[in-house]
């Protein structure tokens, strides 16, 4: 089953190029234009990433990250999650750069192929920055009362957190 993931990228690249060829897209020029957009959007996250990676590295070096994880370990155990991913659970709905910083710290401390590393990866890949999406979309049309949006969106995030550990156990038998 994990072979499927290995095929995802090469087949996506192959299909995109064939599709572009069939639709008469100027392939290389378009690729370069797109890469340029990617360049500027990657650069644009850098300042907030510097601030947050500095803060998370400080949190880790001071031992506060370990204390936070062990304080939350009863909650983690109840949800079937490794304790190291609990900081990610807290920051993920609030800040995209913050969760990148925490995810990088988890990879550095536990490794990408550890149970915690894999669960953290699945969490990151299956949730969005919920409050950011809510702020951007409702803010754009001046909506003040969001009614049931936040409870529904947070329930979805919570589901993703719990299922991510189950899914990693299912696909990796760890």
Partner 1 sequence: MSALLNYIWAGLIIISVICAAVTGRMPQLSAAVMSGAAGAVELVIAMMGMMCAWTGLMKIADEGGITRILSKLLRPVMRRLFPACKEDSPATKAICMNITANLLGLGNAATPMGIAAMKEMAKLNPTQTADNSMAMFVVINAASIQLIPTFMGTLRAKYGSPAPFDILPAVWLTSICALVVGITMAKLLEGRSSG
Q: According to the binding rule CB under 8 A, does residue 114 interact with partner 1?
A: no
Given the complex with partner 1, which of 80 and 131 has the nearer CB atom? Answer: 131
163: contact with partner 1 by CB under 8 A: yes
Closest contact distance (angstroms) between CB of 13 and partner 1 is 6
| The residue to which tokens 């087949």 are assigned | 11
Which of 85, 115, 127, 173 touches partner 1 by CB under 8 A? 127
> Binding string to partner 1 for residues 64 to 93, with x set by CB under 8 A, is what?
x--x-----------------------x--
| Contact status, residue 47 vs residue 101, Cβ threshold 8 Å | no
CA–CA distance, 138 with 141 (Å, rounded to integer):
6
Quote the CA–CA distance of 60 and 64 in Å, as a whole number: 6
Quick one: which of 89, 135, 173, 174 contacts partner 1 (CB under 8 A)?
Answer: 135
Q: 76-80 long-range CB contacts below 8 Å, 24 or more apart?
A: 79/161, 79/162, 79/165, 80/162, 80/165, 80/166
Which parts of 40-69 interact with partner 1 (CB under 8 A)?
Answer: 41-43, 45-46, 49-64, 67
């Amino acid at each position: 089953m994990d072979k499927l993931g290995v095929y995802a990228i090469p087949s996506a690249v192959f299909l995109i190029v064939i599709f572009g060829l069939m639709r008469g897209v100027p392939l290389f020029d378009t690729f370069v234009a797109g890469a340029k957009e990617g360049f500027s959007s990657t650069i644009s996250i850098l300042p907030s990433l510097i601030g947050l990676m500095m803060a998370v590295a400080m949190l880790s070096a001071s031992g506060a990250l370990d204390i936070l994880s062990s304080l939350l370990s009863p909650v983690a155990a109840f949800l079937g999650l490794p304790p190291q991913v609990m900081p990610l659970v807290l920051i993920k709905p609030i800040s995209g750069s913050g969760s990148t910083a925490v995810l990088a710290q988890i990879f550095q401390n536990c490794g990408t192929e550890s149970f915690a590393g894999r669960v953290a990866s699945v969490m990151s890949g299956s949730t969005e920055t919920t409050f950011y999406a809510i702020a951007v979309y409702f803010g754009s049309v001046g909506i003040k009362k969001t009614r049931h949006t936040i409870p529904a969106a947070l329930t979805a995030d919570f589901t993703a957190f719990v299922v991510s550990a189950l899914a990693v156990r299912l696909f990796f038998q760890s």
